[in-house]
Amino acid sequence: MPSLSGFHEKEAADWARGTGQRLSGVAPVGSRVVRIARFTTGDEPEYGIVGGADGEEIIASVVGDPLYSGIELTGAQHSLADVRLLAPVIPRSKVVGVGRNFAAHATELGNAVPSEPLVFLKPNTSVVGPYDPIVYPTASTDVSFEGELAVVIGRICRDVPHDKVSDVIYGYTVCNDVTARDLQAKDNQWARAKGYDSFCPLGPWIETDLDPADLLITTTVNGDLKQHDSTVLMIHDVAACIAYISSFTTLLPGDVIATGTPAGVGPMQPGDEVSVTVDGIGTLTNKVVARD
Ligand code: MG
């Protein structure tokens, strides 16, 4: 966690774990690790550390952007229920997606399993936050959800060896790699199919201390279970993906890697509510809307 350095790191971590002495009145959260959210109370976006019991979470505001300046509490606190969560990170340069990284998903769409990570880019303008609408494009009649674990990069890096990948990871969040399946087939290139505005919901926050090896990814549409598989089924694990991607492009702090979706993808329609949960992080919920 390279960006969680400095004098205030322990204070913030203690606060999030409910053991901090300086900020009283916060419910203890046992072994919960640090969660960094981006939010607004109606004014400018700000960042905070999420702590407290489930359903009673509190956000403690921090100074500036913790990705670049470390964590320093301002002393202000809000009930999570009183703020609007935003995408926890706006990638400085790019979202890199990994395609067909679960064998059963590759097979369900009639594709072969790639021998190397199959990567594509989503523009940072496709990123939206929790509860933001996914806008159904008029050019498509087959828009699909793809629930995924997302990695947030913490430092500028290139040619990262497998055994050093953890040094460049800031944390993890949840991604819905929304895809216009018909345009993906039609275009050959995936820029449009993966790149529409609102096609990259991220959230609800960044978990900075997590082992990505065996995390359950669960996707529901209107409460109906669609995807339910562990990251242990990834063909190329997080370290392999980042080593591969950084072999050809520089990754910047705040860049996001969407690590691939399990089997069970399917269509969404305007009016549908889609939720992606990654165990150890949280749930990302968005509603699909028709474009005006
Ligand atoms: Mg995907």
Q: Tell me what pLDDT residue 101 has.
A: 96
Burial 221-259 (b: 16+ CB within 10 A, else e): beeeebbebebebbbbbbbbbbbbbbeeeebbbbbbbbb
User: What's the CATH code of the domain at 200?
Assistant: 3.90.850.10
134 found inside a domain: yes
Domain span at residue 149 reads 95-290
According to the model, what pLDDT value does residue 242 have?
98
Look at residues 86, 114, 133 and tell me which one is the last residue of a structural domain: 86
CATH of the domain at 65: 2.30.30.370
CA of 126 to the centre of ligand 1 (A): 14
> 């055994």: which residue's tokens?
163
Residue 226 lies in a domain: yes
Q: Which helix (H) or strand (E) holds 268?
A: strand 266-268
Supply 261's token pair. 């979706």
From ligand 1's centre to the CA of 271, what distance in Å?
Answer: 22
Average pLDDT over residues 21-39: 55
Q: Write down the pLDDT at residue 3.
A: 38
2 in a structural domain = no
Lowest mean pLDDT among 51-55, 192-196, 222-226: 51-55
- Pair 137, 272 in one domain: yes
Judgement on whether residues 249 and 127 belong to the same structural domain of the protein: yes
Residues recorded for the chain: 292
Average pLDDT, the chain: 90
pLDDT at 52: 87
Give, as one character, the DSSP assignment of residue 193. H
Same domain, 59 and 175: no
Write down which residue in 68, 86, 104 finishes a domain: 86
Q: Residue 265 domain-assigned?
A: yes
3-state secondary structure of 123: coil
Residue 82 near residue 41 (C-beta atoms within 8 A): yes
Residues that place a CB less than 5 A from ion ligand 1: 146, 177, 261
